Amino acid sequence: MQAFNPYLPSWEYVPDGEPHVFGDRVYVYGSHDAFGAPIFCVNDYVCWSAPVDNLRDWRCEGVIYRRRQDPGNRLGVRSLYAPDVTRGPDGRYYLYYCFDFLGEMGVAVCDTPAGQYEFYGKVHHRDGRVWGKKSGEQFPFDPGVLTDDDGRVWLYSGFATKVPFAASRWHNLRNDGGVVMELEPDMVTIRTEPKVLFPTKGRPGAFPHAFFEASSIRKVDGRYCFVYSSEHNHDLCYAMSDRPDGGFTYGGVLVDLGDLFLDGRTDEAHAANYLGNTHGGLLNIGEDWYIFYHRQTNRSSYARQACAEKLERTADGGFRQAEVTSCGLNGGPLRGEGRYEARIACNLWAKGHATGRYDAPRRKALFREHPYFTQTGGDREGSGDQYIANMRDGATAGFKYFCIEAGTGLSVETRGERGGVMEVSAAPDFAQILCSLPLTADVSAVCPLALAEGVHALYFRYRGAGAVDFLAFTLHKGT
């Protein structure tokens, strides 16, 4: 068994993933998109888990909380946005969530990490007033929660963009940045009033990558590590402090959907992949650290999928930015043999290394000339046939990494236009073309790869008229 990115099945769309170790399993809590939906997070919360010693073996725990369970959403018109879970001082598990841009934060509770959570209450002040109901309060959004070693509970939240309809619903809420507050042991009552720790862009004290959303908190070597999505919105960054409620210093970027900020690259129009929002958290198992995040599919920001990458530490106790790969939780490169679905590509761009943002106002331009991940049929559980659609002349899909032996060959599976070719290279600039496969009805044709034994990336570039769908490729040993 191997692990790929996305690490969940092709039919599953769980963004905003927060991984936590409870007992001998890793549990991932996220929101739940639907394929083909016109908005974010229309499905109920599900949970996935894996053994701590085998991050290749993910199991669906089923639906853990339904949006209609909240007394304020009996009709189900609100969507459950990014959640987080913590084990409280009483040993029970508390799930924190917000309904889209409603401007309040709910809490559900369960005796087990992935059982049926039940509504518990709203985060509120000591006088019983729900947080977000008073004019001038900070806007509740994207909870990140930590039960500290001493039993104290810290809640983080924040959003950078003013939300007019939330402001009109709940007076004049503020969006000054990432905030922190301490909760009472009951897990819902605010003990210390929310204060801004991470100002948004343009405010004094803002980091080089200013806070935007996606608050997440962990302990790293006894220190507090705050993870967030920045003003760029397609990266996850971190900051460190010796205390949970202040003194944070900027650490850097952990991961970026388009591998921007690696080697000084910043051009969104020529990123290594199509961009959109991302959200996730850190996972620690033994000496290993991982960053969980999500990617975009289906030419939108409303069908996002869970990915993860292993992190390297720096000498000062921080983290280096991870490269986006196809094999994040695999523990190393993928095997240099067997069939691989095109959906695990970590790099994707159109002719001229052109990409774009799926959440940009003019994203419809991406519909015509750009490739994208999609699937046949509608949203469903338990099956899927995801692929890369609309590969036109010069479109490229990249896969990292494979442990390839000398004498390995390759075949591809496509559908659509015939008469073109699929060029293969180990480098994104195609300075050396390893093979060129004619796209005919015969998918059994095998082309030898002129590669020395070792770990390699593989890039596939379509050359020809019209467009093809890229379904899969197979590596053949000893051809």
Q: Which residues are catalytic?
A: 16, 213
Residue whose C-alpha is closest to residue 470's, from 301, 381, 363, 347: 347
Give Cα 48 distance to the centre of its chain.
Answer: 14
Q: Provide CB contacts within 8 A for 344, sequence distance 6+.
A: 4, 5, 6, 326, 399
Q: Which tokens sit at 332?
A: 């190393």
Q: Are 254 and 227 in contact (CB under 8 A)?
A: yes
- CB neighbour burial string for 395-422, b if at least 16 within 10 angstroms, e if fewer: bbbbbbbbebbeebbbbbbbebbeebbb
User: Distance between CA 70 and CA 130 in Å, rounded?
Assistant: 14
The C-alpha angle with vertex 88 and arms to 85 and 94, in degrees rounded to 5, equals 35
List helix spans (H) across 154-276: 164-169
Give Cα 345 distance to the centre of its chain.
Answer: 15
Q: Which residue has the tokens 């920001």?
A: 301
By CB atoms closer than 10 A (0-12, 13-18, 19+), residue 225 is buried
366: enclosing H helix or E strand:
helix 366-369
Residue whose C-alpha is closest to residue 390's, from 416, 418, 410, 413: 416
- 231: DSSP letter: T
